[in-house]
Amino acid sequence: AQSVTQLGSHVSVSEGALVLLRCNYSSSVPPYLFWYVQYPNQGLQLLLKYTSAATLVKGINGFEAEFKKSETSFHLTKPSAHMSDAAEYFCAVSEKAGTYKYIFGTGTRLKVLA
């Protein structure tokens, strides 16, 4: 069965430092991959997605993610953290064939320190 693992339920970075949030998936066939962000007391919104075009995907607010098939990873990065990036981030996958389930990771809460 498809699964998504996000390493680190809480990550703290200083303002201006690199943000790296990790996501690994398990699937013999690379799925569609997504990163969503959830600000406090809000629903989720899409940051970026990989749908088998370019392996380096750029999203909103300066975030990007690289799909690495050999590592079954889709880590999210941002070169310089801003206070407004503090939120919870979710990696998700949906299969290209078979069921149409959507699987989310358990989330990583990002804290940005002044």
Residues that bind other proteins (CB under 8 A): 6, 9, 32, 34, 36, 42-46, 49, 51, 90, 92, 94-96, 99-107
Shortest distance in whole angstroms from residue 19 CB to other proteins = 19
Return the number of the residue (42 or 83) whose C-beta is nearest other proteins: 42
Question: Taking a C-beta distance cutoff of 8 angstroms, is the pair 54, 66 a contact?
Answer: no
Return the number of the residue (12 or 51) whose C-beta is nearest other proteins: 51
Return the number of the residue (64 or 95) whose C-beta is nearest other proteins: 95
Give the bridge partners for 35, in sequence order. Answer: 48, 91
The CA angle 72-76-27, to the nearest 5 degrees, is 20
Q: What DSSP character marks residue 60? A: G
Question: Taking a C-beta distance cutoff of 8 angstroms, is the pair 81, 112 a contact?
Answer: yes
Shortest distance in whole angstroms from residue 55 CB to other proteins = 16
Return the number of the residue (68 or 96) whose C-beta is nearest other proteins: 96
Give the type of residue at 23.
C
Give the SS3 label for residue 47: strand
Shortest distance in whole angstroms from residue 14 CB to other proteins = 26
Q: What DSSP character marks residue 43? A: -
Shortest distance in whole angstroms from residue 68 CB to other proteins = 19
